[in-house]
Structure 1
Amino acid sequence: MQPKDSTKIISPVKLQEVAKALSGDLRLRILEILGKQTLSVTQLMTELGVAQPTISINVQILEQAELITTSQGANREKLCSRVHDSLLLLLPSALGDALHEMEEIMMPIGMYTDCSITPTCGMAGKDGLIGSPDDPRSFYLPERSEAELLWFSESGFVEYRFPNPMPPGIELSALVLSAELCSEALGYDEDWPSDITVFINGKRLGTITSPGDYGKEKGSLTPSWWMPGSTQYGQLCEWRIDKVASFCNKEKVSDLQLQDLNLNFTKPITVRFEVEETAKNRRGLNLFGATFGNHSQAIKLSFVRERK
């Protein structure tokens, strides 16, 4: 058993995470039983009379909160140790003390609030299709919230509303949006450019051209049931808007600046992915969630704080 530090200082940024970890009776019992000894997950199961998956989940929560550490034992079992006898909680004393340098919100791709869809089109969840392919009415089904892949051809858009987590008085240095996407062809076509434009709060952030619709190789996260010969993955694209200009994948795409967005704590932030009717390359859009494609994320909006 490794020696314990007497006291761990919990900064305001970590307060919520630590408080949540301490809020479960089982997690408190795990901390209690690890107070004098190091135990494996199997030994914790025996001591506490709880199934292995439940123990593992709660051990993970405690480890993420840095209340315990784990290591691999001689028999490849996970060994769990408590390394602190007491916690010193530092309460926030100034505006923004409890906020991270970057706050992230992950939006499932099926949680759009508005759309305009042209067949061919459709949606898929991790276990199967949602609604009927090539029927735009499917995009209004309640089940759309479970979508992990959506697609439409030619022109159209999907629009999302994000909450603003930054309270008044907190200044941002940048807003960063990322998503995995590609063009939409019948089946797939890796030489199929499509001009995809991003709008935030109705302001044009910039247009990028997706080179194609990728289907030669299976996406690393794409489910086994998904049809071969179809779209498999996209490109992870990142848009960044700061106090100077807007960029996509580090290349400048417009002069739009952060202050032009008129961000307000009480109002949602709208994000639209659109293939415009006037686009030179009007070849649709595929948008990937966390369990399709090559990247384990949905649509991510990050709020970067101004450094003090």
Structure 2
Amino acid sequence: MKRIPPARLQETAKALSGDLRLRILETLGDQTMSVTELMAALGAAQPTVSINVQILEQAGLVTTTPGSNREKRCTRTYDSLLLELPRSPGEALHEREEISMPVGLYTDCSVLPPCGLAGKEGLLGCPDDPRSFFLPERSEAELLWFSESGYVEYRFPNPVPPEVELKGLRVSAELCSEAMGFHEDWPSDITLFVNGCRIGTVTPSGDYGEEKGKLTPSWWLYGTQYGNLYEWDIGPDTVRINGEEADGPVLSSLGLHYHKPILIRFEVESDAANRRGLNLFGQGFGNHAQGIKLTFVK
């Protein structure tokens, strides 16, 4: 029997919510099977079985070991689960709650050409046409860019109930400046705003294109390839940017409210000393497999 604490309830419930995943657990029973054997037993394709096995493994309901020819052997971990329901506010939350936002799901923007959007398989809309930033398919973007000054803004939900003390808020994203093609020596001042509060500025040294991004699709042959990963950490008393203390508003100044969205804006200000646009990378471009990550520390 496995005890599931309140902080693991959602993860476990999601793993058990799929019909195929329940069938995998049922098929495994008290035996170990390979992914190929599961495919044959369930009549499902290999990628589908592998993805669902991975979800069960992440929830601790299945364990895998290497078999012959490097194929995974899958074993059901438990026969019974004891679900412990939360008894007090915040007990069902992890110490850290993360929300990852796709870069194309901005709710407001102001951009200047050259600008554009790219998805996993190709460009979205017309390059260098700001109207493309308002197309519905912008939600599929894995890379966006604009020149000179401008911004993109996102709305995040607040998962932390008002009776739970929030100890920190962290924002991270992969960013670089924007030049025609690319330019390694092309600094741009990119500022993070949270709920309208100016948190702090980072200055990527260029628009990086000499080396291929680790995640950048093969069809993207020329131009910007990757950025730098930046993290703004807003605490009760200090603000840190990539671990270095910086001047900025503290947590209590942000006006966070359980029933209101949290506005996250990346902006190159019109009066910035280095006003050279930005590239913002999603989980399918650049060097870091993430979108815009907002972390709540309780």
> Which TM-score band applies after superposition, normalised by the shorter structure?
over 0.9
More strand by share: 1
**Hey, what's the Cα distance between the residues in 2 that align with 1:29 and 1:134?**
49
Unaligned runs of 5+ in 2: none
1:85 is paired with a residue whose SS is: coil
Structure 2 match to 1:4: none
Aligned partner of residue 203 in structure 2, secondary structure: strand
| Alpha-carbon distance in structure 1 between the residues aligned to 2:282 and 2:43 | 37
Per the alignment, residue 68 of structure 2 pairs with 74
Determine helix, strand or coil for the equivalent of 2:23. Answer: helix
Alpha-carbon offset, residue 139 of structure 1: 1.0
Deviation at 1:259, TM superposition (A): 0.1
Query: Under a length normalisation based on structure 2, what TM-score does the superposition of the two structures give?
Result: 0.96
Distance 1:171 1:88 in 2: 28
* Deviation, structure 1 residue 27: 2.4
The CA deviation at 1:59 is: 1.6
Q: Which residue of 1 aligns with 2:293?
A: 300
Deviation at 1:19, TM superposition (A): 1.9
Which residue number corresponds to residue 274 of structure 1?
267
Match status 1:239 vs 2:227:
no
- Residue 277 of structure 1 aligns to a residue whose secondary structure is coil
| Structure 1 range deviating more: 211-220 or 77-86 | 77-86
The answer for the alignment partner of 1:3 in structure 2 is none
1:158-203 CA distance string (max 9 Å, x none): 1111111111111111100000001111111111111111110000
Farther off after superposition, 247-256 or 92-101: 247-256
In the alignment, is residue 8 of structure 1 matched against residue 11 of structure 2? Answer: no
CA distance in 2, matches of 1:43, 1:294: 35
- Aligned partner of 1:201 in structure 2 is 195
Out of 186, 192, 201, the residue aligned to residue 192 of structure 1 is: 186
Cα distance in 2 for partners of 1:60, 1:304 equals 27
Match of 2:252 in 1: 259
AA matched with 1:54: T
Provide the residue aligned with 1:97 in structure 2.
91
Match of residue 152 from structure 1: 146
After superposition, the Cα gap between the structure-2 partners of 1:283 and 1:170, relative to the gap in structure 1 and judged at 3 Å, is: same
Q: Distance in 2 between matches of 1:293 and 1:248?
A: 20
Map 1:206-245 onto structure 2 (within 5 A): 206-228=200-222, 230-245=223-238
Question: Contact between 1:207 and 1:253, CA under 8 Å: does it hold in 2?
Answer: no
- Indicate the percent of aligned positions where both proteins have the same amino acid: 67
Aligned counterparts of 1:223 and 1:53: Cα–Cα separation in 2: 20
- CA shift, 1:76, in A, is 2.4
Matched, 1:284 2:274: no
Q: Match of 1:249?
A: 242
Q: State the 1:98 CA deviation.
A: 0.7
Structure 2 equivalent of residue 116 of structure 1: 110
Contact kept in structure 2, 1:39 and 1:80, CA below 8 Å = yes
Contact 1:8 1:88 in 2 (8 A): yes
> Which stretch of the first structure deviates more once superposed, 180-189 or 40-49?
40-49
The total of aligned residue pairs comes to 298
Q: CA deviation at 1:30?
A: 2.3
Deviation at 1:252, TM superposition (A): 2.2
Candidates 54, 58, 64, aligned match of 2:58: 64
Tell me the distance in 1 between the aligned counterparts of 2:155 and 2:43.
44
Larger radius of gyration: 1
CA distance in 2, matches of 1:15, 1:192: 47
How far apart are the structure 1 equivalents of 2:69 and 2:278? 49
CA distance in 2, matches of 1:189, 1:224: 20
Structure 2 letter corresponding to 1:251: E
CA displacement 1:62-83 (0-9 Å, x = unmatched): 2111111111123422111123
State TM-score, norm by structure 1: 0.93
Change in 2 beyond 3 A, CA 1:63/1:114: same
Give structure 1 stretches of 5+ with no counterpart. Answer: 1-6
**Distance apart, 1:40 and its partner CA:** 1.3
Instruction: Give the letter for the 2:94 counterpart.
Output: H
CA distance in 1, matches of 2:46, 2:202: 48
Change (3 A) 1:27 1:119: closer
Change (3 A) 1:50 1:137: closer
